[in-house]
Amino acid sequence: MDAGTCFRATPRAGAGHRTPQGFPPARVPAARLAAEKKAAQRPLALGLGSRRSTDPIRGAGLKGLRCRKSSGTEKVNYSADEALILKQKAEDVLPYLNDRCVYLVGMMGSGKTTVGKIIAEVLGYSFFDSDKLVEQAVGIPSVAEIFQVHSEAFFRDNESEVLRDLSSMHRLIVATGGGAVIRPINWNYMKKGLTIWLDVPLDALARRIAAVGTASRPLLHQESGDPYTKAYAKLTALMEKRMDSYANAHVRVSLEDIAFRQGHDDVNVLTPSAIAIEALLKMESFLTEKAMVRN
């Protein structure tokens, strides 16, 4: 079966977007939105190269890009134990993945790039960041500047074009922009591959973003005020609008669940490699379940 058409998109009654045939979206955590709303009222707790060419630049629609792939060849460090588990899990997942692309979705700062690079390395896939591809396609070096010079709508149009072009390719790990999930058409593109939602509590997101500043994230940026407080408030508002869209992903990787299984509730201590291992485990169980249903 063609890897690009295996996850065929079919219309879902009553929904503006499409889901792949027979694939349930990631399980929606029923009480999650309510919990996030409640949390918002609490006092703030401050606190491996590809095996064959998959370069999207050579793909039809991205031919015009001046860029090379974004940081796909950087080495990522993890412990020997983690390296072994990552390698084993990657070997388990690869045959089921069948060359399909993997799209990481999630809020700004959820670790799509950090975790995506680890997954790409161990699977031997190429890593791409869709924000960077948009910057290169538009010829403007930052998303913040694209928003400023043009508009968010202009950025979104280009984002959709990039995702469309990527959707005809194989063996890519794509870190998508945090808002890529809001356009139904983008799901049609992304669901030709496997979609993974990195679900990170807003407090952790706001901490990470405050640590590096909001200048590169136009939807969060404000000149004045405490960066954590501002980021937290804006992330809360965005999450309320986007929660259902993120939950469309085939697989949900919840940092709260990982921490719970580790016997604590501090998601801030979870390493990117532990999250990548969880993502591979979830991918494997999703893909093997699908394979069993097909047989």
Ligand X SMILES: Nc1ncnc2c1ncn2[C@@H]1O[C@H](COP(=O)(O)OP(=O)(O)OP(=O)(O)O)[C@@H](O)[C@H]1O
Least separation in angstroms between residue 134's CB and ligand X is 12
By the rule CB under 6 A, 201 interacts with ligand X: no
135: exposed, middle or buried (Cβ count in 10 Å: 0-12, 13-18, 19+) = buried
φ and ψ at 252, to 5 degrees? -115, 125
Give the closest residue to 191 by CA, choosing from 265, 250, 231: 250
Residue 15 is inside which H or E element, if any?
Answer: none
Least separation in angstroms between residue 236's CB and ligand X is 16
Which of 20, 116, 177, 201 is the binder for ligand SKM (CB under 6 A)?
177
- Name, in order, each residue with C-beta under 8 angstroms of 80's C-beta and a sequence gap of 6 or more: none
By the rule CB under 6 A, 275 interacts with ligand X: yes
Question: Using CB distances below 5 to 8 A depending on partner kind, what does residue 109 bind out of ligand X, ligand SKM, none?
Answer: ligand X
Residues 24, 44: Cα–Cα separation, whole Å: 35
Which of residues 4 and 218 has its CB atom nearest to ligand SKM in the complex? 218
Residue type (1 letter), 257: D
- Name, in order, each residue with C-beta under 8 angstroms of 210's C-beta and a sequence gap of 6 or more: 226, 227, 228, 231
Looking up tokens 């161990």, which residue turns up?
122
Site for ligand SKM in 235-294 (CB under 6 A): none
Site for ligand X in 109-168 (CB under 6 A): 109-114, 131
Residue type (1 letter), 169: M
By the rule CB under 6 A, 108 interacts with ligand X: yes
Least separation in angstroms between residue 234's CB and ligand SKM is 10
Least separation in angstroms between residue 53's CB and ligand X is 24
**Segment interacting with ligand SKM, rule: CB under 6 A, options 20-28, 33-41, 61-69, 176-184:** 176-184
Which of 36, 99, 121, 131 is the binder for ligand SKM (CB under 6 A)?
131
By the rule CB under 6 A, 200 interacts with ligand SKM: no
Question: Using CB distances below 5 to 8 A depending on partner kind, what does residue 135 bind out of ligand SKM, ligand X, none?
Answer: none
> Alpha helix locations (H) across the chain?
32-41, 80-97, 112-123, 130-138, 143-149, 152-166, 184-190, 202-212, 227-246, 255-261, 272-294
Where do contacts with ligand SKM occur on this chain (CB under 6 A)? 108, 131, 143, 177-179, 217-219
Where do contacts with ligand X occur on this chain (CB under 6 A)? 106, 108-114, 131, 175, 178, 208, 212, 217, 270-272, 275
